[in-house]
Structure formats: structure tokens, C-alpha cells
A and B are shown apart, each in its own frame.
Chain A
Amino acid sequence: MSYKKVPGTFAWWFQRISGSFLIILIFIHFIDVHFIFGVENLEYETVAEKWNKPFWRIMDALMLVFGMIHGANGIESILLDYKKIRKYKAYWFFFIRAISAVTIIIGSWIIVTFSPEEGSVAKYESPVAEMRDESGSHE
């Protein structure tokens, strides 16, 4: 296939693949946070309970990395439509990628190093979480 010669081919493929993953990841995330928990039940203990399972940390990390690179990729393709910006492409791309990288680093740091304060998970007694555990929706 001839697409290998066209610049931006990787970005094109990445955008479609990461986009497909993000549809699934964000769909689950939005339903979980807004409909299963509800924004009124997002206390520290809720997060501690959720991130007690490595599965959810991996899901959130995937969402973070795919989301930020997908976003940076998208912003770059918008910027390329403007002649004046194309002239200083390198600087703009560096700026966008730096923002994206810093967000990924901070987000990963939170996801990896978060360890709930003593007793946070144990004292958690929300009926919502019990429902989730009983229905086995965690794994």
C-alpha cells in the first residue's frame, strides 16, 4: 500500500485506533462515575475502594495516555490548517506535546503512587460499592 510514503500516516492510524479504544473506555468511565456512583458519591474512600483493584488503575491509565496523545494529535492536525502556524510548526507542536506530556506524567504519578490513608478502604461502607461487589461488576 502506498500510504507508507505519506507523512502523518502513523498519526492517522493512531487517531483511529486510540479513538476506538477511547469510545469504550470513556463510555465505561462515564457510566461508572455518573450513573453507577453519581457525582455525589465520589468521596476519597470511593476512589480508594475503586483503585484497590489494579484493573481500574490500568483502565484509568490507558484512558489518560490514549486521551492525551489523541488530543495532542487532533490539536496538531487543526493547527496544520493555518498557514501562519505552519511556519512555526515546530514550536507549536513542542508546546502542545509538552502540555500533553506533563499531563500524562502527573496523571500517571497519581494513578501509580496513590495509596489511601490508613483505614480509608476498610471504613468504606457505601451501599453502592456493596452492590457493585455483590454483582461482581468490578472484574
Chain B
Amino acid sequence: MRYSIKEGMLSWLLHRLTGIGIFIFLIIHVMGAIYLKIGPEEWNHHVELFNTPFFRVAEVGLMGAILWHGLNGLRIIIIDFSGIRTSHFAKFLFWIIVFLTILLMLPGTYILLKPLFEGVAG
């Protein structure tokens, strides 16, 4: 590892865990799309699943994982190509993406979970 600091360790671990999670999700996601080829009723029944409270909460988790993985990936690219190898810079970027992840999660979580409280979902 290039920068052995606590934040670096944590972002490295989170990047792997979210990466594995998203990869597994993507496979299931594509397999689910097979319902499009089976027929309209089958597909409509399949997507009803995503409107359940469990899936709405899971979608918040998915959004968080994707946001973290994407922003941290961007951080890695910036570190690689800026040529700035100080742990201070890596730490600084780490806290910026923590901030950005939380910032983007707020409106996203609100939109995803709002129907739960309005009784639309389920």
C-alpha cells in the first residue's frame, strides 16, 4: 500500500467490500431483467418487489455503496495522476469524499424512503 494510514486502510477495505457487493448485485440485477423476455405480466410482478419497504431500504444501502465506491475510485484516480503522494493529501481527499457521500445520501435517502411514510409503497 502506498499510504499506510488509518483512513487509507478504511477506504481500502470499504472499496473492496462495496466492490464485491455491487458486483454480486449487478449479476442478480441482470438475471432479473430476463423477466423482460418472459412477458409483461411476469416483468410487472418482478418489479413490484422493488417497491416493498425491504427493497426501498436496501436501495439506500445500494446507493451508499455505489456512491462510496465511485467517489473513492475518483480519489484513487486523483492520487495516481496528481503525483501527490503525501498521506496528508490522501487523508484530505478521504474526508472530502466522506462529506460528499453523506451530502448526496441525504436527498437520495429522502426520495427513496418518502413513499414508505406516505403509505404508497408495499
Binding site for B on A (CB under 8 A): 16, 19-20, 22-23, 26-27, 30, 34-35, 38-40, 42-45, 47, 64, 67-68, 71-72, 74-75, 78, 99, 103, 106-107, 109-110, 113-114, 117, 120
Task: From known contacts A26-B70, A110-B37, infer whether A44 and B50 are also in contact, taking CB-CB under 8 Å.
Answer: no
Q: Check if B112 sits within 8 Å of A34, measured CB to CB.
A: yes
**A/B interface sample: 25 pairs, CB < 8 A:** A16-B73, A16-B76, A19-B70, A19-B74, A20-B77, A22-B70, A23-B70, A34-B112, A39-B55, A39-B56, A42-B50, A43-B43, A45-B40, A68-B26, A71-B19, A71-B22, A71-B23, A74-B19, A74-B23, A75-B20, A103-B26, A103-B30, A106-B31, A107-B33, A109-B37
| Residues of B69-122 contacting chain A, CB below 8 A | 70, 73-74, 76-77, 80, 108, 111-112, 115, 120-121
Q: How far is the CB of B48 from chain A (nearest CB, A)?
A: 9
Q: Check if B47 sits within 8 Å of A39, measured CB to CB.
A: yes
Main secondary structure of the interface of B (DSSP, over half): helix
Q: Is B36 an interface residue (CB 8 A)?
A: yes
Main secondary structure of the interface of A (DSSP, over half): helix
Q: Check if A78 sits within 8 Å of B36, measured CB to CB.
A: no
Q: Check if B40 sits within 8 Å of A30, measured CB to CB.
A: no
Q: How far is the CB of A77 from chain B (nearest CB, A)?
A: 9
| A68: B residues at CB distance < 8 A | 26
| B77: A residues at CB distance < 8 A | 16, 19-20
